């Protein structure tokens, strides 16, 4: 089974190393990890406009997701109290395609506890993020793995990811996929 490895990891200085480590963890559980940076970005060399490069990158990610059987999403808050917006789109895309969605976060606090009061309603559901991104995980029959990463390791600790891969491999084998 091919697993699309979604998350803000591609923005980290050690993005290649994290992707390789995640792929090795997937292999230990009999899954093939597909990392966004596995795409052939050579097409971007032909483009001059930054927006065209962005749209081509989007298309490359869609092609990678289409070639995968499920997604494991890093739902750790990134650049604010919520998860990476691109990861949220990837969760929605895979769910919309009927593919199982699994997720993990290295921050255990509920979304409502991370958002500063601003006079607007905050979802009171006890979820790790907006219900529209945790809902697909729930509909897969899984739980978002909450892992309290040690201080300074929120973006590098792979313990929650490993537990999420274990959960995905177990649930997918039960389903006979």
User: Would you kindly state where each structural domain of the chain is located, as residue ranges?
Assistant: 2-174
Confidence of residue 74 (pLDDT cuts 50, 70, 90): very high
Does 175 or 130 have the greater pLDDT score?
Answer: 130
What is the per-residue pLDDT across 89-147, written as a single tens digit (0 to 9) for each? 999 999 999 999 999 999 999 999 999 999 999 999 999 999 999 999 999 999 999 99
What contacts 140, CB < 8 A, 6 or more positions away?
A: 100, 101, 102, 171
| pTM reported for the whole predicted model | 0.95
2-174 fold: Rossmann fold (3.40.50)
Helices (H) and strands (E) in the chain, counts: 6, 5
Which two tokens mark 47? 């483009």
Let me know: does 97 contact 20? Beta carbons within 8 Å.
no
The pLDDT of residue 177: 65
Beta bridge partners of 74: 104
Phi, psi dihedrals of residue 105, rounded to the nearest 5°: -140, 145
**In this model, does residue 2 exceed pLDDT 90?**
yes
Cα 88–6–4 angle (5° rounding)?
125
User: Residues 150-159: contacts with CB within 8 Å, 24+ apart?
Assistant: 153/106, 154/76, 154/106, 154/107, 155/8, 155/9, 155/12, 155/76, 155/106, 156/12, 156/14, 156/18, 157/106, 158/18, 158/21, 158/22, 158/25
* Residue 160 three-state SS: helix
Let me know: does 34 contact 72? Beta carbons within 8 Å.
no
Q: Which three-class secondary structure string do you get for 88-121?
A: HHHHHHHHHCCCCEEEEECCCCCHHHHCCCCCCC
The arithmetic mean of pLDDT across residues 45-53, rounded, is: 93
Does 175 or 61 have the greater pLDDT score?
Answer: 61
Q: With CA atoms as reference, report the closest residue to 160 among 73, 56, 68, 57.
A: 73
Averaged pLDDT score across all residues of the chain: 96
């Amino acid at each position: 089974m091919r697993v699309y490895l979604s998350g803000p990891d591609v923005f980290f200085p050690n993005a290649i190393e994290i992707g390789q480590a995640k792929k090795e963890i997937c292999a230990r559980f009999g899954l093939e990890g597909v990392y966004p940076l596995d795409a052939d970005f050579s097409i971007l060399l032909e483009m001059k406009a930054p927006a065209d490069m962005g749209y081509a990158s989007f298309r490359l990610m869609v092609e990678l997701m289409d070639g995968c059987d499920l997604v494991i999403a890093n739902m750790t808050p990134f650049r604010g109290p919520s998860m990476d917006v691109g990861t949220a789109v990837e969760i929605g895309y895979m769910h919309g395609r009927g593919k199982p969605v699994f997720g993990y976060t290295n921050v255990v606090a509920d979304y409502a506890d991370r958002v500063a009061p601003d006079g607007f309603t905050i979802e009171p559901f006890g979820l790790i993020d907006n219900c529209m991104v945790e809902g697909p995980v729930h509909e897969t029959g899984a739980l978002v793995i909450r892992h309290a990463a040690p201080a300074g390791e929120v973006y590098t600790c792979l313990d929650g990811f490993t537990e999420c891969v274990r959960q995905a491999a177990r649930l997918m084998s039960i389903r006979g996929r």
